[in-house]
Amino acid sequence: FGSMLIFGTNDMVVLRSEGIEQIKNFDVLWRYFAAFGYAAVALTTVSALAFLLSVFAENSIGPIIATMSIVIVFTILSEMNIPIYDETIKPYLFTSHMVAWKGFFYVKANAEGTTINGSIENLPAVLRSLGILIVYIFVFLGAAIWVFRKKDILT
């Protein structure tokens, strides 16, 4: 809410490669809440990965460095534009789905180019990415719990 004090509550301009879109001021707040909720799920995926890696380590810094390294490498890989790679590996990297929060700010437009209030351009893709991140969370946490239960904690 501090930004509303600084910048006010006017319309929001979204710059895209296809052009400029304007979202009306009454249509912005829910998009921010949705994007923040999506980002929370994306960061929970990273923390679930760190939790999984911490099961295998005996110190505290190793899983932190490993998690950040994995996120950085996967982010670089998910931003590469290689045709065969885009169809085979990229859809399975969780970092490819972490940036889908931007979809909440891409609105549909009618034939005249006027934005349609309350619309999301590609909602199925955003929800699909959200579902994939949730699956990763359950896989990472499930694997961590399974490994921890099998682990000999006396050594």
Domain ranges of the chain: 2-150
| pLDDT tens by residue, 33-89 | 999 999 999 999 999 999 999 999 888 899 999 999 999 999 998 888 888 888 888
Q: pLDDT value at position 120?
A: 86
Q: pLDDT value at position 155?
A: 57
Q: What is the pTM of this model?
A: 0.86
Q: Which residue has the tokens 């949705």?
A: 34
The whole-angstrom separation of Cα 53 and Cα 26 is 43
Which long-range contacts link 16-21 to residues 24+ away (Cβ below 8 Å)?
16/106, 21/106, 21/107, 21/109, 21/115
pLDDT band (50, 70, 90) for residue 154: low
CB atoms within 10 A of CB 140: 21
